[in-house]
Amino acid sequence: MNYFITGAAGFLGSALANRLVVEGHHVRGLDDLSTGDPTKLSPDVFFTRGDVNDRPKLWSMLQDIDCIFHLAARVSVPESILYPRDYNHVNVGGTVTLMEAARDVGVKRVVFASSGAVYGNQKIASLKEDAEPKPRSPYAVSKLSAEYYIRSIGALANVDTVCLRIFNAFGPGQHIPAAHAPVIPSFLRQALRNGTIVINGDGGQTRDYVYVDDVVHAMISAATTPKIDNMIFNIGSGQETSIKNLLKAVLDVTGGRPQVVYNNKADGGVRHMRADINLAANKLSYKPSMDLEAGLRTTLERDQILNNPRQNET
């Protein structure tokens, strides 16, 4: 099949692109390289640097494409609080532009990487797809808005759409920015260098951490499974881990002795998150294969940046 990936040089995008070419598919990728790294991509991926809001480029690259994976996005909750207009432009505006192009060219299916953040704070422990969304950050609002645009434009234009609400994905190759770094690569890096780990709040807040290979499996299933048009699926591990327990697991696998600092800074996040993955299991044959500790160990073994002392100092 012919696939097109936005955000192709990013963490999830590159893992997905590389898996698809190994399986013998033709893959075109687009990324503005604001955080992506094209060296992560197989040479068999036809990669172009560009903006998801570039209509002519999208129209050209979508010719003969069977399915789009839409992963291009800005993804930091704290950053979205500072720059909500930028998040709206990329995450919402870029999605609308892409769907217009998919409609005009005649793409058959779009798989969208949404986020578990759209649920916000809920009274129930395990989050099902029919829970009322209660987004608490501009990032979460932008992902929910993108879901509505994708599903409505797809329905009107006869384009199959599937939205995957991905929880906290982690694994080798995850970008570690200077500010607002994802928690797992940040903890691993600081533990390896015996640096400082900062925990916001009391550490009792929980997240559902899912290994990158399991997310890739879910995305490919969403592209190929019949009769799932306009559906939404949770993609997580189905397990809930507190920040304190995550820290313990990181220290166990690294043997590090970092300084741990607690503060009361609010980050716009939610208190508890755990995905109910029964619908994905039933419709997509989705079954997570890697638990948290095994995923942390595999990340340490395979991640070039974490294992490069010089890069680790940046």
Q: Indicate the DSSP class of residue 127.
A: B
- For residue 309, what are its two tokens? 């002392």
DSSP, residue by residue, 62-80? TTT-SEEEE------HHHH
199 membership: H or E segment, kind and range: strand 196-200
CA dihedral angle for residue 92, residue 133, residue 112, residue 181, rounded to 10 degrees: 80
Amino acid residing at 34: S
- Among residues 3, 87, 139, 286, the one annotated as catalytic is 139
200: β partners: 263
* Structure-token pair, residue 280: 């994905």
The answer to whether 139 is a known catalytic residue is yes
Tokens 């994976």, located at residue = 69
**Cα–Cα distance measured from residue 104 to residue 101, given in angstroms and rounded to the nearest whole number:** 5
Find, among 150, 149, 120, 143, the residue nearest to 132 by Cα.
120
Helix axes 243-254, 292-302, angle to 10 degrees: 50
- Cα 41 from Cα 256, distance rounded (Å): 31
How deeply is 8 buried, as exposed, middle or buried, from its count of CB atoms within 10 A (0-12, 13-18, 19+)?
buried
Give the chain's largest Cα–Cα span: 56
Known catalytic residues are 139
